[in-house]
Structure 1
Amino acid sequence: MADFIRIYEENPNEREIDKAVKVLKQGGLIIYPTDTVYGLGCDITNLKALERVARIKGVKLEKSNFSFVCHDLSDLSDYVKQIDTSTFKILKRALPGPYTFILPGSKNLPNPFKKRKTVGIRVPNNNIALEIVKRLGNPIISTSIHDEDEVLEYTTDPELILEKWDNLVDLVIDGGYGDNEASTVIDLSEDTPKVIREGKGGLEIF
């Protein structure tokens, strides 16, 4: 059975944030709000937890497209190769915000992702997600929680999310109703930016 806690985005309660961080540190999985759809996440440094997320999503961990949720751009240097000024300017304009940027991965990627050439980076404009990552001290892996119901695509009500994911995760955070539009995915790993998926984030950042 998953725990269920309510955190208010305008002023996240430290004790509740610490509960979420404790679950992550113990290798647990959490469902948490972002500035787009609710995400399923775990500590990026915990291999067992990463494998659980991959199993739930039905993918091989090495081949997964999970994003790294970072607290801010200063976290990037750990996971991303040196980026040029124009790329940095785009990131600075867009983040925090509803974007996933695909960037060239560095040699320091956690073991399961070592062979990757690129990595997806998120800095969501959501205080709950950012506080959790800040307290944890490293990024969390994130993947959106898709709904089997094609019409819905994303569940926005935390209580319905709890009902559905109760036996799969350790904690569901109710941060209010989620959005039902995913992030805009932009590939910045080559010379020319390429939009992979148009979502909530607008394209005026270029």
Structure 2
Amino acid sequence: MARYFDVHPDNPQRRSITSVVDGVRSGALIAYPTDSCYALGCQLGSRDGIARIRTIRNLDDRHHFTLVCESFAQLGQFVRLDNDVFRAIKAATPGSYTFILPATKEVPRQLLHPKKKTVGVRIPDHSVTQALLAELGEPLLSSTLLLPDEEEPLTQGWEIKERLDHQVDVVVDSGDCGTEPTTVIDFSDGQVTIVRRGAGDTARFE
């Protein structure tokens, strides 16, 4: 049965944040809010967490996982950026964007796209997510909480608790955070490719 934390969306309670992060460090799979929609998250090197996310979402090995980062400095440890890409991403963060980029050796092999050796990264603009990341001190390995055969992600913490009670370990509820996933921009081959149009404005990349 999943532990349930009701967290204030603007001033998250320190005790709750610490408890959630302690769980992540112990191998917990969490459902948590972001600035676009809810996500599933676990510790970066958690093979069990990766397998459970794949099972819940019915994902194949070509799916791009996302490293949700606290800051641009942290993001830069895990992906390679040239100057033009650096400026483009810097101007759009924090925000509802996921960027696909060539991974550095800091990224566990099982997270990489098998052919491209790329990974998704993002910096969310959400107080609860930022509090979790600050306490954790490293990115959260994440994937949008979109269940198989459903068109929209789950948006209510109580519903997530009800439906995934025996599939996740922790549910963090800070109220409705929207139904639209991030906009996904692929910079991995030197060109700008809009993979998915979502919550982030694509105009700056067109």
Instruction: State TM-score, norm by structure 2.
Output: 0.91
Q: CA 1:161 to 1:194, structure 2 compared with 1: closer, same or farther past 3 Å? A: same
CA displacement at 1:149 relative to structure 2: 6.2
SS of 2:56's partner is helix
SS of 2:202's partner is coil
Identity rate of aligned residues, in percent? 35
Moved more, 163-172 or 113-122: 113-122
Inter-partner Cα distance in structure 2 for 1:63 and 1:199: 20
SS of 1:141's partner is strand
- 1:32 counterpart residue number: 32
1:186-205 equivalences under 5 Å are 186-205=185-204
Contact 2:36–2:181 (CA<8 Å) still a contact in 1?
A: yes
Inter-partner Cα distance in structure 2 for 1:111 and 1:34: 25
The amino acid that maps onto 2:162 is: E
- 1:185 counterpart residue number: 184
CA-based RMSD of the aligned residues comes to: 1.7
- 1:87 counterpart residue number: 85
- 1:68 counterpart residue number: 67
Contact 1:29–1:49 (CA<8 Å) still a contact in 2?
A: yes
In structure 1, stretches of 5+ residues that fail to align are none
Return structure 1 stretches of 4+ with deviation > 4 angstroms: none
- 1:127 counterpart residue number: 127
1:11-26 equivalences under 5 Å are 11-26=11-26
What whole-Å deviation, never above 9, does each CA across 1:154-201 have from its counterpart, x for those lacking one? Answer: 222211111101110111011111211110000111222110010010
Contact 2:64–2:111 (CA<8 Å) still a contact in 1?
A: no
- 1:5 counterpart residue number: 5
What whole-Å deviation, never above 9, does each CA across 1:125-177 have from its counterpart, x for those lacking one? Answer: 11111211221111111111114564x62222211111101110111011111
Contact 1:181–1:199 (CA<8 Å) still a contact in 2?
A: yes
Q: CA 1:136 to 1:68, structure 2 compared with 1: closer, same or farther past 3 Å? A: same
CA displacement at 1:59 relative to structure 2: 3.1
SS of 1:78's partner is coil
The amino acid that maps onto 2:188 is: S
CA displacement at 1:6 relative to structure 2: 1.0
- 1:47 counterpart residue number: 47
CA displacement at 1:108 relative to structure 2: 2.2
